[in-house]
A and B are shown apart, each in its own frame.
Chain A
Amino acid sequence: MHELSLVQGIINAVGVTASEKGGRVLSVKIGVGELAQFDIRLVRGLLNDLKKGTSLEGARMIVESEKSKVKCLSCGRVWNFQELAGPISSDEREIMHFLPELLNSCSRCPNCSKSYFEIEEGRSVRIIEVVLDV
């Protein structure tokens, strides 16, 4: 349930930023990357629960899922998690749930089989945008 910690971290960070800028938070857009395999409904629910009683209480929370984009730095092939879903075991999925970068420990480029690749998009939960009324 580390989703709870991450969502609390988002609420705190946005609250601090709004306080520093002296503005009211109108909306927050959150991306939920597919590599961490979070339940997007859970993230949405946590955001709406945890914003209560904070400076984000009246803010609109927009939660979007984000596809992964992984690029091989050896052959240039770009792929996503879905293409690799078959060979990844449930144990490997579990460790990626905590540390998405461990995709590198669990798979290889589908084209050249090298381990030399980088996650460009869709790793975990992130703040895409905050809109303030200042």
Chain B
Amino acid sequence: MSEFEAGLDFRRGMIDRRLAHTKRVLLVMSGKGGVGKSVVSAALAGIASTLGLKAGLMDADIYGPSSALLFGAKGLPVEGESGLIPPILGGVKVMSVDLFASGRPIPLAGSGANEILLELLALTDWGNLDCLVVDMPPATGDIMLTLTSLRNDVEAVVVTMPDRLSTSVAHRVLELLKGGGVTTVGVLGNMVRGSAKGKEAGPRKLAEEFRVPLLGLVPFDRSVSNAVEKGNIEALLRTRFARTLRKSMSAYLRA
């Protein structure tokens, strides 16, 4: 007879099963806050849906969730027999801790944020998805480590603004991804002001150094903040920002 203290986190197996019918998991990362990951993530999921793909958006920014706000999602998810059913807005299945916290502050010590992430991933019934976009938090802590080891075909887009502060942190993220079992789809320059000429130096240099594609340079677009205020993904998708993003990412999303 053999007895053992299990230490068995059954949620890992649940997550594997939940994502077994998801073709692609795409992490939108930067390492740094304020470069537009959440808006890029929301728009990417929305674009995927307009391309006829079954899209989901997982808000992994547990401390500062914004996906629900961007999509205008409110209220607790419906509980089905097979788990939590994410609300569908603009054709996108959206899951966020803010559907539960509803604007309350989320002060979490220790492993708290990662526990919430694991619980949400274990409980969410995504059904069949072509693409699950994950809005990653800033920093390279537990959540990033959990999500990059979620399964062995996880892919990542690294978003950066053209300035040195952003590219220096994006550089660290690319370094982590390199050889870490995550396919880096490419570098996406965001909030590029004025003519792209000369502004692409930072993102392009990063892409060249890590031998990944420069996916595009998305302009700074004042109309994005108006669309965000509306909490309506369709409004966001009508912006110049989203149209440029669509050109940059459609081929990848369709592949």
Contacts and interface: CB of A to CB of B under 8 A. Distances in A.
Interface of A: 1-2, 4-6, 9-10, 12-14, 16-17, 21, 23, 26, 73, 94-95, 98-102, 104-106, 115-119, 123-124, 127-134
Contact of A98 (B112, B113, B123, B125): B123
B229 interface: no
Given A99-B119, A101-B119, A132-B4, 15 more contacts: A4-B81, A5-B125, A9-B122, A12-B13, A13-B12, A17-B6, A17-B8, A98-B76, A98-B84, A98-B123, A101-B116, A105-B106, A118-B109, A131-B1, A132-B3
Given A2-B84, A5-B14, A98-B123, A132 B2 contact: yes
Contacts of A105: 101, 104-107
B201 interface: no
Select the residue from B14, B84, B113 with max chain A CB neighbours within 10 A. B14
B122 A95 contact: no
Contact of A1 (B79, B102, B106, B107): B79
A73 B111 CA distance: 13
A103 B115 CA distance: 13
B5 interface: yes
A94 B76 contact: yes
Given A12-B17, A132-B4, A2 B105 contact: no
A127 to B, nearest CB: 5
A98 B100 contact: yes
Contacts of B107: 104-105, 115-116
B97 A99 contact: yes
5 closest A-B pairs by beta carbon, nearest first, are A13-B10, A9-B14, A115-B107, A105-B104, A95-B100
Given A1-B81, A104-B106, A130 B8 contact: yes
B119 A98 contact: yes
B9 to A, nearest CB: 8
A121 B156 CA distance: 35
Contacts of A100: 115
A79 to B, nearest CB: 15
Given A102-B101, A128-B6, A13 B13 contact: yes
B55 interface: no
A36 to B, nearest CB: 10
Nearest to B115: A101
Contacts of B125: 5
Contacts of A16: 13
A2 B112 contact: no
B216 to A, nearest CB: 36
A115 B105 contact: yes
30 contacts: A1-B80, A1-B81, A5-B83, A5-B125, A9-B10, A9-B13, A9-B14, A13-B8, A13-B12, A95-B76, A95-B101, A95-B102, A98-B100, A98-B119, A99-B116, A101-B108, A101-B115, A101-B116, A102-B116, A104-B107, A117-B109, A118-B110, A119-B112, A124-B119, A128-B5, A129-B5, A131-B1, A131-B2, A132-B2, A134-B1
A128 B83 CA distance: 23
